[in-house]
Chains A and B, each alone.
Chain A
Amino acid sequence: MDQMQSKIKTFLSRFFKGHDLQPEEDIFALGFVNSLLAMQLVAFVEKEFGVTVGDEDLDLDNFRSIRAISEFVARKQGAPVEAAPA
């Protein structure tokens, strides 16, 4: 697990008490994902990694697991600040 994934795991672990979240684990399948987590997750990703989550990024697959989030962030970091809408 790289540094980015460690940060994501630390953030998400607050929502999954007593569970050792694995990089590939589907956080939606685990339950407990509600609008509170959803909006905090967006804010966390933006603030921690300096990317902008836009409407074109509203896809559960971008946030489904630690690995999915890290890959999404990596894609955004390599993309223009405000990507064209899909």
Chain B
Amino acid sequence: MKLELTAEQREARAGFRAFVAAEIAPHAGRWDREEAIPPQLIGRLREQGYLGSNVAAEHGGAGRDMIAYGLLTEEIAKGCSSVRSLLTVHDMVAHAVQRWGSREQKERYLPLLARGEILGALALSEPNAGSDAKSIETTAADAGDDWVLDGRKKWTTFGQIAGLFLVFAQMEGRAAAFLVERETPGLSVRPLKGILGTRASMLAEIELAGCRVPKASLLGRVGFGISHVAAAALEHGRYSIAWGSVGIVQACLDACRTYASERRQFGAPLADHQLIRRMLTDMIVDVRAARLLCLRAGWLRGAGDPGAFMETMAAKYFASRLAVRAANDAVQIHGANGCSEDYPVGRYLRDAKVMEIIEGSTQIQQITIPLFEFQEF
């Protein structure tokens, strides 16, 4: 495992950083308040090749390596976790299609996803099914040449504007995954507002009422919807969330470094007070440790190593918990200012909490990670 980035990766990161500083970070607070990101930004992400950049070159994508992909995610998350959410869910769908799509599905959807001409969204969670994904109540019925989907999906990130939904349903007790285009009759979208964090992620509830899709919409095989299709998408999502959490920790550190240097209390900058330094120390060390776990996960994912599943979970678990701690401390360091919209750290705290819940909650990781460990003995 190489700890140093290549020259290409460093150059790419510099580009990501400049883009985020100019076009994302200055506006993130406003997007958070407006609970939406503007179409112009999505156009800019598209132009930069930041959407679907994990799609292989043979399918029209940039084929970005796993480390560079992680760096992109971190930099975007430093500026705005809601924009990072867009990359996460869009790329989860692209990854699932690339991993388990038929030749026809790959030819039809991957170039569109790689160019960002269609946005992907994952429709897995339901009002009564969150961590227990196998308990989804949405059904798929065989209707000759079509499948007919009925049910309700909730918390679908960027469901408000997505053009392609990866929908999971039960078919006589066996899970299956379907690619459902937005214009499909029977599919309707209701925006969800007032979310705690990543508020500009344009969440939606998706209703499927007699939603008829062609037989060729099935992604993978019936019975493998959760175990293979959702698992592949979520594994990619966890990798993105891990890096996104690193981005939040780094953003907290950057904000606190500035604030603690400029803000004076008791005749000295905050940074000179030992109890403040203690919190800064945690952030400084945490961000390095979390980034190393992400790099290791990325290296193993790039190598196709079975151990990548465990390392990605470990990185997500560690980084998301640290993001909450860092953001909590960042608000504390900022005091009353941290509780106002004049500073970004309050948003970081709300966004960080979401990271502990999505793509496998902290508690699901605590149940699952030991299972991997016991395999080794």
A binding-site residues for B, Cβ under 8 Å: 11, 14-15, 17, 34-36, 38-44, 46-47, 54-56, 58-60, 82, 84-85
Residue in chain B with minimal CB distance to A85: B102
Partner of B228, one of A17, A35, A47, A56: A35
Q: Which residues does chain B contribute within 8 Å of A85, judged by CB atoms?
A: 102-104
Q: Does B309 lie within 8 Å of A36, measured CB to CB?
A: yes
Q: Which residues of A contact B232 (CB under 8 A)?
A: 39
Contact A15 B228 (CB under 8 A): no
A40 in complex: contacting residue of B103, B303, B309, B368, CB < 8 Å: B309
How far is A60 from B235 in the complex, measured between Cα atoms in Å? 21
Question: Chain B residue with minimal CB distance to A58?
Answer: B221
Decide yes or no whether B371 CB sits under 8 A from chain A.
yes
> Which residues 337-377 of B sit at the A interface, judged by CB distance below 8 A?
368, 371-372, 374-376
Contacts A36-B309, A36-B371, A39-B235; A58 near B304 (Cβ below 8 A): no
Tell me whether A55 and B220 are in contact (CB under 8 A).
yes
In whole angstroms, how far apart are the Cα atoms of A7 and B368 in the complex?
Answer: 25
The verdict on B66 contacting chain A, using a C-beta distance below 8 Å, is no
Q: Is B280 an interface residue (CB 8 A)?
A: no
Q: Which B residues between 203 and 262 are near A, CB-CB below 8 angstroms?
A: 219-221, 223-224, 226-228, 230-232, 235
User: Among B221, B303, B375, which residue has its beta carbon within 8 angstroms of that of A15?
Assistant: B375
Contact residues in A for B235 (Cβ distance below 8 Å): 39
Of chain A, the residue at the smallest CB distance from B134 is A35
B183 at the A/B interface (Cβ < 8 Å)? Answer: no
Residue on A nearest B377 in the bound complex, by CB: A17
Closest Cβ of chain B: how far from A64's Cβ, in Å?
A: 13
Query: Contacts A47-B306, A55-B220: A38 and B231 contacting too (C-beta < 8 A)?
Result: yes
Cα–Cα, bound, A44→B230 (Å):
19
A85 to B107, CA, bound (A): 13
SS class, residues of chain B in contact with chain A? helix
Q: How far is the CA of A14 from the CA of B103 in the complex (A)?
A: 34
A39 to B104: give the CA distance in the assembly, Å: 23
A9 to B197, CA, bound (A): 46
- Minimal Cβ-Cβ distance residue in A for B235: A39
With A14-B375, A43-B308, A47-B303 given, is the CB distance from A35 to B227 under 8 Å?
yes
Closest to B376 in A: A14
Q: What separation, in Å, do the CA atoms of A11 and B305 have in the docked complex?
A: 13
Across the interface, which residues of A come within 8 angstroms of B220, CB to CB?
55, 58
Is B19 at the interface (CB under 8 A from chain A)? Answer: no
Give the one of A11, A42, A43, A60 with max B CB within 10 A: A43
Contact between B224 and A36, CB atoms less than 8 A apart? no
Of A14, A34, A47, A84, the contact of B304 (CB 8 Å cutoff): A47
Report how far A59 CA is from B222 CA in the complex, Å: 10
* Bound form: Cα–Cα A51–B308 in Å: 18
Indicate whether B79 reaches chain A with its CB closer than 8 angstroms: no
CB < 8 Å: which of A46, A47, A58 contacts B224? A58
Q: Do A42 and B104 touch (CB < 8 A)? A: no
CA distance A38 to B229 in the complex (A): 11
Cβ contacts B257-290/A at 8 Å (1 or 0 each):
0000000000000000000000000000000000
Q: Are A39 and B372 in contact (CB under 8 A)?
A: no
What is the chain B residue whose CB lies nearest that of A46?
B304
Residues of chain B in range 74-106 having any CB-CB distance to chain A below 8 Å: 100-104
- The docked-state distance in angstroms from the alpha carbon of A41 to that of B224 is 14
Partner of B221, one of A17, A46, A59: A59
**Cross-chain contact A55 with B306 (CB below 8 angstroms):** no
Chain A residues whose C-beta falls within 8 Å of the C-beta of B231 in the assembled complex: 35, 38-39
Chain A residues lying within 8 Å of B309, measured Cβ to Cβ, are 36, 39-40, 43
